[in-house]
Chains A and B, each alone.
Chain A
Amino acid sequence: MNVEARAFKQADYKSDVKPIWCPGCGDYHVLMSFTRAFAQLGLPPENIVVVSGIGCSSRIPAYTNCYGFHGVHGRSLALAAGLKVTRPDLTVVVASGDGDGYSIGGNHFLHACRRNVDMTYVVMDNHIYGMTKGQPSPTTEPEFDTALSPGGTKVRPFHPLVVALASGANFIARCFSGDPNHTADVLVEAIKHPGFSFVEILSPCVTFRPDEKAWKEQVHPAPVAETSDQGKAARRLMTDDGFNIGILYRGTRAPYQPAAGKSDIDLTELEKDFEL
């Protein structure tokens, strides 16, 4: 095979499909971060698979020029696990939102962190269910008023970064969509880091959370450098204000990748146990 040196520009990773996201949506910036990160890594687009579920953020695969899978609600991590375990040569990026990822996808989130298959999980968190018109998500503030929860849910929001740490994620970061270059740099690190990398991107919803315009002023770089000490990380994440930006934890677990067995045996070897 002729191995040509191929140089990739950011534009090489964008498809010509025009997104349906509302103008002003943070996900436009996230798409830029994706394509910039892929270009920085120099990966051939055909070797990247973007797997998603259902929701506004999950529309992202079709907007890239990579292979993509727009699956059913909440199951993208499982699908990605099946894919990566059988095709370790591919770079697998899973895109989700706070509903798809933390609600219906919650169980799979736990086990994906626990299993630690090498992939990068990006959750575009806008603290709302956007696609279905504004219901609270697991990260919505308890006092935020919606039609489904008049006066607010009064339920404490989910803290995904702590859950990720407790479940075994090997890389934990938070980004802000409004700083796409920094986000791209973090994504590069996340993709390079072996095992399950979790990147939460705060990505405001212009239609259902116009109040999130204020996030621009509220996010700030994390006050301390990243740690690989789980205890330290646990304490920091438990006291996190929800707006610390940067790589927060980098672990040392070996990724889960079942060893491929022998592939040259005759199938009749398997029949021996049956023989009378």
Chain B
Amino acid sequence: MSKPPAAPKVSNLNDLLAVAYQIEIDAVERYRLLADQMEIHNNPELVKIFRDLSRAEGIHGEEIRRLAGDFDVVAHAREMAQFAKGESPEEADLGSAHYLMTPWHALQMSLAGEKRALAYFTSITETAKDPKVKELASELMEEEAEHVNLVHRLLRKYPEPSKTWADDLDPPQSLE
């Protein structure tokens, strides 16, 4: 289960565009979900970070739509972008969320997601037959590499938290 996801078949440019778009949209959704979780669990700093990340992924998605030009990448994505095993590469791992998580943790999540997306597009450049697909995949790869660097820069602003970051003096509450 910790192997990289098996991607859907990308046999042409349109398919790749659709998959790339879906990756960004899934990430938008995932970060929005995490922002909501942080809101319910009263972690406002993380609400802001996840909303910012969600917005950033949305911008990436828009870039791909622009790349696609007239082609309705949104509709095509809906039809085909189903990652059969595992999850969409860029989606943050919900299992590593924590109500007391710090910005450092959120950025580590984001970093892992960007690295997975990078690996995915890299693999397409290596395996694609269609030169146009190879080219686009290469471009997307570069984009993801930029994102990785961006996250690294952000991480420099936030130190790794101390060992007691998850300590909570209040015990858990029983709701029912």
**Direct A–B touching, Cβ under 8 Å:** yes
Residues of A within 8 A of B (CB): 9, 18-24, 26, 28-29, 54-55, 131-134, 176-182, 185, 204, 206-208, 213, 216-217, 219-220, 245
Measured between alpha carbons, how far is A213 from B96 in the docked complex, in Å? Answer: 9
- B129 part of interface (Cβ distance < 8 Å): no
Please determine whether A54 and B95 come into contact, CB atoms closer than 8 angstroms.
no
Please determine whether A23 and B99 come into contact, CB atoms closer than 8 angstroms.
yes
Residues of B within 8 A of A (CB): 1-2, 33-34, 36-41, 78, 82-87, 94-99, 101, 171-176
Residues of B within 8 A of A245 (CB): 1
Q: Given A131-B174, A179-B1, A216-B1, verify A26-B85 contact (CB < 8 Å).
A: no
Please determine whether A216 and B2 come into contact, CB atoms closer than 8 angstroms.
yes
Measured between alpha carbons, how far is A26 from B171 in the docked complex, in Å? Answer: 21
Measured between alpha carbons, how far is A116 from B25 in the docked complex, in Å? Answer: 40
Q: Which residue of A lies closest to B175 (CB)?
A: A131
Q: Which residue of B lies closest to A27 (CB)?
A: B94
Please determine whether A132 and B95 come into contact, CB atoms closer than 8 angstroms.
no
Partner of A182, one of B40, B85, B95: B85
Residues of B within 8 A of A19 (CB): 37, 40
Residues of A within 8 A of B101 (CB): 23
- How many A-B contacts are there with CB distance less than 8 Å? 80
Residues of A within 8 A of B171 (CB): 133
Please determine whether B98 and A23 come into contact, CB atoms closer than 8 angstroms.
yes
Some 23 contacts from A to B, beta carbons below 8 A apart, are: A18-B39, A20-B40, A21-B37, A22-B41, A23-B41, A24-B94, A24-B95, A28-B37, A55-B176, A131-B174, A131-B175, A133-B172, A176-B1, A179-B1, A179-B86, A181-B83, A181-B84, A185-B84, A204-B95, A207-B172, A208-B172, A216-B1, A245-B1
Measured between alpha carbons, how far is A213 from B174 in the docked complex, in Å? Answer: 22
Partner of B97, one of A24, A177, A181: A24
Measured between alpha carbons, how far is A20 from B33 in the docked complex, in Å? Answer: 12
Residues of B within 8 A of A208 (CB): 172
Write the nearest CB–CB distance from B69 to chain A, whole angstroms: 24
Residues of A within 8 A of B85 (CB): 179, 181-182
Main SS at interface, chain B? loop
Please determine whether B98 and A24 come into contact, CB atoms closer than 8 angstroms.
yes
Write the nearest CB–CB distance from A123 to chain B, whole angstroms: 17
Residues of A within 8 A of B38 (CB): 23
Partner of B95, one of A55, A134, A206, A217: A206
Measured between alpha carbons, how far is A180 from B84 in the docked complex, in Å? Answer: 10
Write the nearest CB–CB distance from A28 to chain B, whole angstroms: 5
Please determine whether A133 and B1 come into contact, CB atoms closer than 8 angstroms.
no
Kindly name the residue among A26, A131, A245 whose own CB sees the greatest number of chain B CB atoms within 10 A. Answer: A131
Measured between alpha carbons, how far is A143 from B14 in the docked complex, in Å? Answer: 54
Please determine whether A181 and B87 come into contact, CB atoms closer than 8 angstroms.
yes
14 further A-B contacts with Cβ under 8 Å, apart from A23-B34, A24-B95, A181-B82, are A21-B37, A22-B41, A23-B37, A23-B97, A23-B98, A23-B101, A132-B176, A133-B172, A179-B85, A179-B87, A206-B97, A208-B172, A213-B95, A220-B1
Q: Which residue of B lies closest to A21 (CB)?
A: B37
- The 9 A-B residue pairs with the shortest CB-CB distance in the complex, in nearest-first order: A23-B97, A23-B37, A24-B97, A18-B36, A28-B94, A132-B174, A23-B99, A18-B40, A133-B174
Q: Which residue of B lies closest to A29 (CB)?
A: B94
Measured between alpha carbons, how far is A178 from B97 in the docked complex, in Å? Answer: 13
